[in-house]
Structure 1
Amino acid sequence: MARRRNRVTIREVADDAGVSLQTVSRVINDEPNVRPQMRDRVQASIDRLGYVPSLAAQRMSGSRSYIILAINDRERTLADWRERQGTDWVDQMLLGGMLTCSKHGYRMMVELVDTHSDHVERELGAAIAALQPDGVILTPPHSENLQITRLLASRGIPFARIGSTEEGPGIRLTMGDEAAAYTATVRLIELGHRHIGMIAGPREYSLSGWRIAGWKRALTEHGLNAEGLSERGDFGYESGTQATRALLDRDPELTAIIGSSDQMTLAALEVARDRGLHVPRDLSLISFDNTPIVRFSQPPLTAIDQPIAETVSTAVEQLIGSDKSAGPSKVIDVEAQLVERASTGPAPRTH
C-alpha cells in the first residue's frame, strides 16, 4: 500500500531556500519589502517542493488573515434547515462569496448569530477573536443591528451591510428591492390588473419597506389605489396563508398578489386553490426570491430573482480592496430581475 505523502511545510521551504520563515511568509503574501533575488529564490523552492500555502503561513506576516466572515441570521437559518426546506439564500451567499474569495487567495467562513440575543456582542466578539477576519459581511437583519455595526467599527474591521442604506460605517449594498417591486407591479398593470395586493415582510427588515414603496409608486403612477391592499408576514408559509386570506376577504375584486418571499407566495397559491380560484386565470401571483422550488410548483411561479451571489461577490471585492481610512461610500445597488413563468396572466375580464 502506497504511503501518504506528507504535506510540504513552510519551514521546509525556508530551509531549502536558506531564508527565514518570515521571508517566506512575505513572499507568499506578495509584500513589497523583499529583494527580487530573494523572492526568486523562495519561489523556486516553492515550485520545486510543490508547496501550497496554508492560512497559517499566509497569516505569519501579521497583516492579514485571508478570511472573510459572513454573518447570517441563526434563528431563521436553523429553522429552515430543521424543516428541511433548504436555504437558497445561504447557498447563493456561499456561491458568490467563496468563488470570489478563492480568486483572491482568501477563504470565506459563515457564522450564525441570533440578532435578538442578549449575548450577540459576546458571540460575535468570540468569533472575531478566533478568526481575526479581514472583513465581515452582514446580511439582514444583522446589517442594521447597531450592536453589531458598532462593535465592528470600534475594532476597525471593514464590513459590508447588505440590505442597509443607513448612513454610518460599512459598505452599503442593496439588491434593487424597490425597483423590483415597481417592475413586478407595472408588469401586472400591463396585464390589465387593477386590484393588486402586496404581502410584505416584517418591519425589522428595511427591504420590506422598500418593496412596499416600489409597489405603491407603481400603483400611484397609474392612478390605482393601494389602500387596504397590503398585509405583512414573516416570510414564512403560515403568515402567507393568513395574509392571503385577509386580502381576499377584504377585496373580492383582487386579481393579483405580490408576495415578499417564495414561502408566502406558495401559501397564496394554496389559499387560491382552497377557494376555487385558478392561477393565473382568476388570480396572478408574483414572488420574491426565485428559489428552486418555485420552478416546480403548479403552476411555476413568476418571481423576482434576487442577485444574492452577485451582491455577496461584490461585497467581498469591496472588502478585500477596502481602505479603512476612507469615508462613507455611496450605496451599491445590484439590480434584480423579473423571471416570468405561468403564475401570471391577463386580468379576468369580469373585473
Structure 2
Amino acid sequence: MSFKPETTAPASRKRAARRSSAAPTITDVAREAQCSPMTVSRVINGEENVREDTLQKVLGAIAKLNYVPNRAARSLAAGSQLRIALLFANPSASYLSEFLMGALQEASRRDIHLMVQACENTAEAQGVIRKLLEGGIEGFILPPPLCDDQSVLDLIRSSGGIAVALGPGRASGSHGAVLIDEFQAAYDMTRHIIGLGHERIGFIIGNPDQVASGQRLEGYRKAMTDAGLAIDESLIAQGQFTYRSGMLAAERLLGAAHRPTAIFASSDAMAAAAIAMAHRRGLDVPGDITVCGFDDTELASSIWPELTTIRQPIRAMTAEAVAMIARIHRQKPGAARAEAEQRTLAHQLIRRNSDAGPSEAASISKPPGGQ
C-alpha cells in the first residue's frame, strides 16, 4: 500500500481562500463602491455629507456584499445581538436608497445585526428565508411583493421568526405592518390636480401584483367621482412601478387623439418617464401637460422640471419596521405575543414645478365639437 505525500498549498492561496470565505469588510464595500472606507462609514452612520451618486454606490455595494458593520459582528459573536434580515425586490434605485438608509441607520443606532438580501421573486425568497432562519436570523422586514405572499409569512411564523410588512399586503399573519394610507394619498393628489382645473387626468397604475397599486387606483377613481368627473378608461394605463413601464404607458396616453391634460403616475420613476416621453413629443411640462408622481424619492427633485409628488416617508417606515421587530423581540420568551402592530405614517403632498392649470395648448387634445 502506498501513500501520497500531503501537499501544502502556497501561503498566498491560503490567504485568498480565507478572504473569499470571510465576511466582507468595510474595505471590501469601499472597493466595490470605488470610494474610501471613511465614506462608507459616513453612510452607515447616517451622516448627510455624502454625494447622492456616491450614496447610491455605497448602498448598492452593501446590498451586493451583504455587509455587516464590524461592531455588529463583534456583538453577534457575544451572542447578544438581535439579527434582522431586510429583503427587497424593488427595481427603483432611488426608492431602494431611502429603503436601505432608514433600516441601516436604525439598526446602527440600536446595535442590531442587519442583513440585506435581494430576492427576485417569492419562490427565491422562500429558499433565502430558510437559509437565513438556519443562520439565526430572527426578524424579517418584508416589502411588497413579499408581504403579499402567504407562503412567505407562513414559513417565517412556523419557524418562530418575526415578520413585519412594509406597506399593505394581502397575506395575513404578520406580526406588524408599517404603511401609509395609499388610498387617501392618491385621492389627495387627484383632488389637487382637479383643483388646478384639469378634467382629463390620465393615471398610470403600479405593479398589479401589489396591494398598494389597487389602493392608489381606487383613490384616483374616488376623487374623480366625487368631483363629478367621468372616468375615461382609455386614460388609465398599466405600469409596473419601473421607468420603462412608465415610458410605455405614457406613450400610449400621449399618443391618443384626445390625450389627457395631466398624468398622475403611481411612482416617481414612472412619472419621470412620462415627463421624458412628453419632452420627446415636443410637449412642455407643465405648460402643455401636468405630470405628478408618488413616493418623493431623490429622483423627484433631480429631474427637470422637479416633480410634484406624494411624499411617502420610506426612510422613516423602514426605521420603524426595525424598531417594531426590536419591541416584539423584547417580549419575554414563551409569552404569548400581542396582537399585530400597525403603524400608519403620514404622507404629504409636495408641490414642485411639474404641475399647472390646463393651458390653451391643451385644447388640441379636445375631440371635434368638444366644449
TM-score range, shorter-chain basis?
0.7 to 0.9
Give 1:236's aligned residue.
Answer: 242
- Which residue pairs with 2:34 in the alignment? none
Matched, 1:54 2:74: yes
| Aligned partner (choices 72, 76, 84) of residue 88 of structure 2 | 72
Displacement of 1:298: 2.2
**Which residues of structure 1 form unaligned runs of 5+?**
1-50, 81-86
Aligned length: 285
Match of 1:210 among 215, 229, 243: 215
8 Å Cα contact 1:165-1:173 kept in structure 2: no
**Any conservation in 2 of the 1:281–1:348 contact (CA below 8 Å)?**
yes
Cα deviation, 1:124-147, whole Å, max 9, x if unaligned, reads 2112212x1231101111111222
Work out whether residues 180 and 345 of structure 2, in 8 Å CA contact, stay in contact via their aligned partners in 1: yes
Deviation at 1:332, TM superposition (A): 2.1
* Distance in 2, Cα, partners of 1:102 & 1:253: 49
Which amino acid is the alignment partner of residue 88 of structure 2? N
Distance 1:348 1:253, change over 3 A: farther
The structure with more radius of gyration: 1
Aligned CA-pair RMSD: 2.3
1:287-306 paired onto structure 2 within 5 Å? 287-306=293-312
- Partner Cα distance (2:293, 2:349) in 1: 9
1:342 and 1:52 map into 2 onto residues whose CA distance is 43
Query: Structure 2: how far apart are the matches of 1:283 and 1:314?
Result: 37
Hey, what's the Cα distance between the residues in 1 that align with 2:352 and 2:174?
40
The aligned amino acid for 1:221 is D
Residue 122 and residue 237 in structure 1: after superposition, are their counterparts in 2 closer, same or farther (change >3 A)? Answer: closer
Corresponding residue number in structure 1 for 2:204: 199
Q: Deviations over 1:6-53 (max 9, x none)?
A: xxxxxxxxxxxxxxxxxxxxxxxxxxxxxxxxxxxxxxxxxxxxx999
- Asked if the contact 1:201–1:260 (Cα under 8 Å) also holds between the matched residues in 2, the reply is yes
Query: Aligned AA for 1:56?
Result: L
* 1:165-189, Cα deviation, whole Å (9 max, x unpaired): 4442331222332221111111111
| Preserved contact between residue 165 and residue 174 of structure 1 (Cα < 8 Å) | no
In the alignment, what sits opposite 1:340? 351
Letter in 2 for 1:245: E
CA distance in 2 between counterparts of 1:281 and 1:145 reads: 43
Secondary structure of the 1:140 match is coil
Residue 146 (str. 1) matches residue 150 (str. 2): yes
Correspondence list, 1:151-230, <5 A: 151-166=155-170, 167-228=172-233, 229-230=235-236
Q: CA deviation at 1:330?
A: 5.4
Q: Secondary structure at the match of 1:225?
A: coil
Question: Aligned partners of 1:97 and 1:52: how far apart in 2?
Answer: 14
Structure 1 CA distance, aligned partners of 2:173 and 2:258?
A: 45
When normalised by structure 1's length, the TM-score is 0.75
- Cα distance in 1 for partners of 2:154, 2:298 equals 36
